[in-house]
Structure 1
């Protein structure tokens, strides 16, 4: 992937190492956590019916999921410093497997609290993977191509999000009592206790399959060798971080809220898409059929990330981000003020413009941090907790209507535009460190 020469500490020229194999293996992680995260968009309408929830209560699924990023990011960063990238990934996969296994007792006892607890554990494992993998990919090659590289592997994350709605629609919504009934929310009170038990247990088979895959991935990562860029980075950081302040870097200071605010928009749109397009005045679809359009939303993110990774070789990342923010805002205005299939397709197309936002904000946020890169990355990963505030969109939907609730993600797009045009400009930039790859 990377060709050329770099200088060793002694000044001698040496060939720059290639990391194509390592990136290919890491791409599987991005695929898997994307797949699992987007299954929440299937769980929300499903559990809403099983437990007779309003929108705010149903979006507690996303609240506990993303609050895990806030609670577990610092412990994950500490574990990463002690265990290194490889074993942090193995531990993260094991924690995820435990959380997915928790869906069995949750469905057996038909307990919403158990479901939320299992989701928190599952999200805690993903937090550890995020803390390890995102900065690892960013430094796994030359800094000038970090945005393109992270967009490329994030495209594999989007491939997982594209497959998940198909999987969930067939194995969860398709097997539930309400999955084939138009206006699924309206039939919640008509389900018998036996139907609710059967619907709750419909998640068992999919999540058992997830447990098996996660355990296999943990074994694979335990056995393979990955370039250890972490050891050198951590040594430099310990020596140099006291000489510098993270808060002098404007791109990081404004990048943290940019990630936080963007996640509110991304999660709100995905979580409420099925409920929105099943409405008689929008799409008049069954929940199972609406799952297909959720696939298109996340498929748009996959296509956008592959396209964005290529286009960023020729267009500055800041300009790409600004264009994406304007496009997403315009589509959300159509969602709010339009009706019928016009609003439905506008919401689906938002995914195309959301595609590059997270990886681009992330790489712009750590640009010029030098030895502070890992610490800055940890703060940006913690900001993913913003997805928890998508619950606020549920509150707006309960009190002012589902269509008006999309004003919240629309406002979020405006902050992303501000960040692209001004907030992302680096100040007090530090020289990038040349990292030596050491096999673990």
Structure 2
């Protein structure tokens, strides 16, 4: 195979108007692409876990306020809508999923350059903004890809299992950070250098991963594939213009509110521990955060198992309701009781984000790629809510400030209620839970159907000639 033919065989442009075998992938066929994309989930979970620890780290080393330290979250999650509604979504709609994966990884690799030059909090915010663009690009493609790669009936289970490895990344990162970021160092410059080396290593890894995605042959799921699934499952959202996809916009609102609350709690978890249990060392607080993130990861595995037997929309409603129930006592309780309430809250947060994605894109058909960009753009709530919590914490204390995520959880609950009790929401969600796509013999691609039709026409013509 020549070099030109090699690159041609790995073209990154998908033909969105043609249905492919990806429309009816079986469980077995979907294993390899799902495993490969799951590596991306671990990657941005690891990066996010470092971010929560860096928040407290910079408060200590640079002497900044809790409100100002939220600039890290603002830079990180503020970049998400720029990617999910802008450059990444354009690449996804015009080229495809694999091209978007490579694009996001390459942007992430660029973080090495500002990290090398960064000698201030502002410099690291700029580096984090680049990471946010890269990971926002990955989420724009990876979340819907996992959702649609395989039998639609199991979409919520797939994305929650993949996101469980994202949770493992958030566990590993704080543990590592407790030894690197909070080590006894001789100077502020040495502390900043430690952070630089970590992100440069991440940049090298993601560049190599981009090369792997270029070489790999994974199914490219097209708009025609999504339209086929929507029609076969009798979910009628595909027939409406994009501006009338009201369920999608409600899911985006819920994602904005929920993610803002989740990021605020995780971002100020270490501050909460130190404020409500005075004398706790930074390294121990970081390990406690890792423990809470472990509960978060375990929740995703358990939630995925429950979804095998209970409709995902019911599991989502129960888990989000328990988030409200357990974060409320953390406002007034102190010490181990308050910390325990946050542990349980993180456990029940586990399945909320991925389930909103899966339920939100159900039935969108040809609008799936564009719609997923809106839901992922809802992650920008993580840029708004933490600074609000930080301002309240500076004035009234970190414990009382937990009232902020409580209010945003309640706002997100409106979608969980709607998807269970409003018929237009519920019927669309259940249509995909009942479909047999991917579990029955495939009907064939557009190309295969056309070839079969041509062969039948040729056979008919030959028969007519022989009869004459």
Q: TM-score range by the shorter chain?
A: 0.7 to 0.9
Contact 2:167 2:293 in 1 (8 A): yes
Aligned counterpart, 2:90: 78
Distance 2:419 2:291 in 1: 31
Deviation at 1:168, TM superposition (A): 1.3
Q: Is 1:246 aligned to residue 242 of structure 2?
A: yes
Alignment of 1:207-218 (within 5 A): 207-218=199-210
Q: How many residue pairs were aligned? A: 405
What's the CA shift string for 1:324-377, capped at 9, x where partnerless? Answer: 122212221221111111111211222101000001111111122222222211
Deviation string for 1:146-171 (max 9, x for gaps)? 11111111111111111111111111
In the alignment, structure 1 residue 199 sits paired with structure 2 residue 191: yes
1:37-436 → structure 2 map (5 Å cutoff)? 37-73=48-84, 74-106=86-118, 110-176=119-185, 195-230=187-222, 232-233=224-225, 244-279=240-275, 281-282=276-277, 284-389=279-384, 390-423=386-419, 425=422, 426-427=424-425, 429=428
Q: 1:176 to 1:241 in 2, by over 3 A?
A: farther
**Secondary structure of the residue that 1:227 maps to in structure 2?**
coil
CA distance 1:100–1:167, change in 2 (3 Å): farther
Q: 2: distance between equivalents of 1:145 and 1:275?
A: 38
* TM-score normalized with structure 1 length: 0.85
Deviation at 1:102, TM superposition (A): 2.1
In the superposition, the TM-score normalised over structure 2's length comes to 0.80
Higher deviation after alignment, 203-212 or 254-263: 203-212
Partner of 2:466: none
1:18 corresponds to which of 29, 34, 42: 29
**Equivalent position SS for 1:173:** coil
Q: Distance between the aligned counterparts of 2:344 and 2:445, measured in 1? A: 41
- Greater gyration radius: 2
* Change over 3 Å in CA distance of 1:411–1:217 after alignment to 2: same
Q: Which residue of 2 aligns with 1:191?
A: none
Partners of 1:328 and 1:228 lie apart in 2 by 36
Runs of 4+ residues deviating >6 angstroms = 234-237, 430-438
Greater alpha carbon shift after TM alignment, 228-237 vs 126-135: 228-237
Greater shift after overlay, 110-119 or 355-364? 110-119
Deviation at 1:312, TM superposition (A): 0.4
Deviation, 1:9, is: 8.3
| Aligned position for 1:184 | none
Deviation (angstroms), 1:204: 2.3
Name the SS of the counterpart of 2:418 in structure 1.
helix
CA positional deviation for 1:416: 2.9
Q: CA deviation at 1:245?
A: 2.5
The more displaced of 158-167 and 249-258 is 249-258
Q: Matched residues in 2 for 1:86 and 1:153: separation?
A: 17
In 1: Cα distance, 2:25 partner to 2:185 partner? 57
**1:381 offset after TM fit, Å?**
0.8
Mark the CA change 1:91 to 1:248 in structure 2 (over 3 Å): closer, same or farther. closer
Separation (CA, whole Å) in 1 of partners of 2:142 and 2:222: 11
The alpha carbon displacement at 1:303 in A equals: 0.5
The answer (yes or no) to whether the contact 2:227–2:365 under 8 Å persists in 1 is no
Query: Could you tell me which residue of structure 1 aligns to residue 441 of structure 2?
Result: none
**Distance in 2 of aligned mates of 1:207 and 1:166:** 16
Structure 1 unaligned spans of 5+: 1-7, 178-194
Number of the residue aligned with 1:190: none
Structure 2 gap segments, 5+ residues each: 1-17, 230-235, 439-443, 447-468
How many Å apart are 1:415 and its aligned residue? 2.3
Shift of 1:314: 1.0
> Are the equivalent residues in 2 in contact too, given 1:135–1:374 (CA < 8 A)?
yes
SS of the residue 1:336 aligns to? helix
With over 3 angstroms needed to count, the CA separation of the structure-2 counterparts of 1:305 and 1:176, relative to structure 1, is farther
Q: Secondary structure at the match of 2:308?
A: coil
